[in-house]
Amino acid sequence: MTSPSTAGRTNQKLRTRTAIVQAAAELSRTGREVSMPEIARAALVSEATAYRYFPDLVSLLREALVGQLPDPAEALAPVAHSDDPVERVAAATEFLLRHVLARQGVVRAMIAGTVLRPAQDARPGLRFGLIDYALSPLADTLGATDPGALAQLRRDLAVVVGAEALFSLTDLYGLGPEEAVTSIVHTATTLTRAALPPGPGAGRPAGRPGRGARG
């Protein structure tokens, strides 16, 4: 049988771990810089205690982000009526970039962890689900006639539809957030339009998605 003192210690450890994860989750929503000392202060524990439960910041953030990433269908609800891949890619791109801007502290921390330890620290792949869902109307057209071209389009979009491209334009090129979003949406839709098979509507320009697509 488990003694009351052992059960009490187990429960206290669970409460401490939960407090650390909740503090990380709440801090990630603010967009501010995310670090282990900041999380420990928010959880009312020492930094050493936080590290006893999580070996590094990225492993903690991965657990804290569970359930926070939006479902692609929910994210692209404003263009659910559309079967135009260009319009859908525009919406997916803007949604993802605004999601990154709103939570850039945790995104930057996850990128840093991935760069330092690429084999161990895989980042959540929100972009890939959004890209696949946005391109779903092409499954029976381009996907059927030239699956290699559709796969290449997915790879092309994975390069530009993401936090790395956004931070390159804001941090290195000096664009403001709105200009950077506009530029990346333009690039993503240009790539998509160029990959479409000839046919009615293939060259139709896509309007920028409404503000309801923001994350």
Give the residue from 64, 96, 114 where a domain finishes: 64
Are residues 23 and 123 both part of a single domain?
Answer: no
Assign residue 31 the CATH number of its domain: 1.10.10
**Pure H helices in the chain:** 4-28, 36-43, 47-53, 57-64, 72-75, 85-102, 104-116, 126-134, 142-145, 147-160, 163-167, 177-195
Check: CB of residue 15 under 8 Å from CB of residue 43: no
Residue with tokens 């670090």: 35
Query: What pLDDT does residue 119 have?
Result: 62
Closest residue by Cα to residue 52 from 86, 91, 23, 20: 20
Q: Which of 50-64, 172-186, 191-205 has the lowest mean pLDDT?
A: 191-205
Which segments of the chain are extended strands (E)? none
Are residues 29 and 81 both part of a single domain?
Answer: no
Residue with tokens 């804290």: 64
Closest residue by Cα to residue 153 from 111, 180, 118, 190: 190
Are residues 161 and 106 both part of a single domain?
Answer: yes
Whether residue 185 is predicted with pLDDT greater than 80 in this model: the reply is: yes
CA distance 133 to 202: 18
Give the residue from 24, 44, 64 where a domain finishes: 64
Query: What pLDDT does residue 68 have?
Result: 82
31: left (phi over 0), alpha (psi -120 to 50) or beta: left
Q: Which domain holds residue 154?
A: 72-213
Whether residue 156 is predicted with pLDDT greater than 70 in this model: the reply is: yes
Q: How confident is the model at residue 207 (pLDDT cuts 50, 70, 90)?
A: very low
Are residues 78 and 58 both part of a single domain?
Answer: no
Span 26-68, pLDDT tens digits: 999 998 999 999 999 999 999 999 999 999 999 999 999 988 8
Query: What letter would DSSP give residue 32?
Result: S
Are residues 87 and 141 both part of a single domain?
Answer: yes
Check: CB of residue 142 under 8 Å from CB of residue 195: yes
**Which own/partner pairs from 163-170 qualify as long-range (CB within 8 Å, at least 24 positions apart)?**
163/100, 163/104, 163/107, 163/108, 163/111, 164/111, 166/97, 166/100, 166/101, 167/104, 167/108, 167/111
Residue with tokens 């390159």: 168
Whether residue 198 is predicted with pLDDT greater than 90 in this model: the reply is: no
Number of domains in the chain: 2
* Token representation of residue 186: 């333009």
Q: How confident is the model at residue 90 (pLDDT cuts 50, 70, 90)?
A: very high
Check: CB of residue 168 under 8 Å from CB of residue 137: no
Are residues 137 and 207 both part of a single domain?
Answer: yes
Are residues 143 and 172 both part of a single domain?
Answer: yes
What is the DSSP code string of 186-214?
A: HHHHHHHHHHSPSSTTTTPPPPPPPGGG-
Are residues 90 and 50 both part of a single domain?
Answer: no
